[in-house]
Structure 1
Amino acid sequence: MLRFTANLSLLFTEVPLINRFAVAKASGFNAVEIQFPYELSAQIIKTELDAQQLQLVLFNVAADDLLQGGEGLAAVPEKQTQFETAVAQAVEYAQILKPEAINILPGCCFDNEHLAAYQDTFKKNLHYALAAFSPLGIKTVFEAINTRDMPHFIIHSSAQMLDIMTEIKHPDLLMQYDIYHSLVMKENPTSFIAQYSDKIGHIQFADYPGRHEPGTGNINFQQLFSVIKTSGYAGWIGAEYKPLNSSTSSLSWLRNAY
């Protein structure tokens, strides 16, 4: 049976974050994910999760200025101390919220002359995160983001993610596989998931090309969900899309997905 999470950073934004948990539960979700939960204390989130009988599956390590057009945090050599502080913050939240995985956004490099150093820094920081999260029983995941929406992102393909995993060779390092980003980069997500389901720690989706809910683009979600169901992937599937209208009106796919 497929298990879906509502990404509370993109869904139900009609209400403040603290109120999105209840709306997600009322909409049929038993689990949620949050890109960056740090505007609320971990205890406040835990109280709301318990009240709604929800599980928080995933959140990200803070990414500094990435969403404001900067290079982010996890690959910038001059920001390694800041990254370690962000990991410590994530650990504090994880000890209370007990997610299954924590995502690390690689970030961007605006000068190709420094790209190798950024890639090396990112891999060092993955090792650091693994040492922090694995003792808590939490997987470390990282993701590729397409270079159309976020130019200069240092990890933008599934092949790059596989190469990093092969190099680091840690059982708790997995990829966060985003179907929308893979399609923007002209990849084939159904064949990739079928072949590499054991390398994936979390899946996220949005329709393509608009990044809205299923039914607004070109993806055959019935086929996609069928492939995921038979692939051996047993993790959660995150609805991380931008609703075309209201969030609640975007959920017709959920009733037909099982």
Structure 2
Amino acid sequence: MLRFTANLSLLFTELPLPERFQVAKQHGFDALEIQFPYSLPAEQIADLLDQQDLQLVLFNVDAETLLQGGEGLAAAPEKRDQFKAAVEQTLSYAARLKPSVINVLPGCCLNSQRLSEYQATLLENLAYAAAAFAELGIKTVFEAVNSHDMPGFIVDNGDKMLNVLKQIDHPNLFMQYDIYHMSRMGEDCAGFLSQHLDKIGHIQFADCPGRCQPGSGVVDFASLFDIIASSNYQGWVGAEYRPTADTAASLDWLKTYAVKYRAV
């Protein structure tokens, strides 16, 4: 099975967010992701989805200033209460929008002497989130982010994700596997996907280097998509890349693979 989503935080950004829903549908997407949807009321997002007969598959728990160089919320020992408040916010959106999965970004440790504290806090917070979202029947995922683009990210490769998963051992916690980030770390994405798809709740992709559309870099998407399509993976595969030009011009990959896997 292979089903693609458009990440509206990176695609169709030529338009204001509310206008991206219709354009994504027009270009062949039936499902969406939004990194952080909280700039719009949940009811407005629900209306936009209904108008276009779209599904919102995934969004993230708020990560404060992580994307601006901060440490985020999920691992910071002094921000446990803020993280729980962010989970409550996400629960209110999730109750209305009914995503398949919610992503928790582990965040950064900017003081290496405190790494063990941050790692312990992350385990605590991920367990809390997994239990909270289980009440709504929504999977919790967390992802590794490459430490070249985001120095200090405390989960930056596949082995670290597996270790976190093993330590928490919660039935509602899964990995989110990002092909761009793991390619950037030099990992064998084909090998990891072949071996661990049963532990993966969501997949995202961009080409590497550059984090642009498939065909702009060196990633062998034909092989990776074949591995996913021929497996028992039941989740979605999210296009989370930065188009080299306007988004519509970057979608040749969708025309190719949507046809190829339509009957899979």
Counting matched residue pairs gives: 258
* Superposed counterparts of 1:220-239, under 5 Å: 220-239=220-239
Q: Are the counterparts in 2 of residues 206 and 239 from structure 1 also a CA contact under 8 Å?
A: yes
- Matching residue's letter, 2:203: I
What SS does the corresponding residue of 1:136 show, helix, strand or coil?
Answer: coil
Q: CA deviation at 1:227?
A: 1.1
Q: Are the counterparts in 2 of residues 193 and 231 from structure 1 also a CA contact under 8 Å?
A: no
Q: CA deviation at 1:124?
A: 0.4
Is the deviation greater in 124-133 or in 96-105? 124-133
Q: Gaps (5+ residues) in structure 1?
A: none
- Matching residue's letter, 2:255: R
Q: CA deviation at 1:223?
A: 1.4
- 2:4 matched to 1:4? yes
Q: CA deviation at 1:219?
A: 1.3
What SS does the corresponding residue of 1:114 show, helix, strand or coil?
Answer: helix
What per-residue deviation string (whole Å, max 9, x for no partner) do you get for residues 190-225 of structure 1? 111111000000000001111100111111211111
- Matching residue's letter, 1:123: L
Q: Distance in 1 between matches of 2:240 and 2:76?
A: 26
What per-residue deviation string (whole Å, max 9, x for no partner) do you get for residues 132-171 of structure 1? 1001000000000000000000000110111111111111
Q: Are the counterparts in 1 of residues 141 and 174 from structure 2 also a CA contact under 8 Å?
A: yes
What per-residue deviation string (whole Å, max 9, x for no partner) do you get for residues 88-126 of structure 1? 000000000000000000110111110000010011001
Q: Gaps (5+ residues) in structure 2?
A: none
- Matching residue's letter, 1:66: L
- Matching residue's letter, 1:42: A
- 2:103 matched to 1:103? yes
Q: Distance in 2 between matches of 1:36 and 1:42?
A: 11
What per-residue deviation string (whole Å, max 9, x for no partner) do you get for residues 32-65 of structure 1? 0000000000000000000000000000000001
After TM superposition, which residue ranges in structure 1, 4 or more long, deviate above 2 angstroms? none
Amino-acid identity (%): 59
Q: CA deviation at 1:30?
A: 0.2
Q: Considering only aligned residues, what root-mean-square deviation do their CA atoms show, in Å?
A: 0.7
Q: Distance in 1 between matches of 2:127 and 2:168?
A: 8
Counterpart for residue 86 of structure 1: 86
* Superposed counterparts of 1:143-154, under 5 Å: 143-154=143-154
Query: So what's the TM-score if we normalise by structure 1?
Result: 0.99
Q: CA deviation at 1:232?
A: 2.0
What SS does the corresponding residue of 2:230 show, helix, strand or coil?
Answer: helix
Q: Are the counterparts in 1 of residues 76 and 121 from structure 2 also a CA contact under 8 Å?
A: yes
Q: Distance in 2 between matches of 1:37 and 1:120?
A: 28
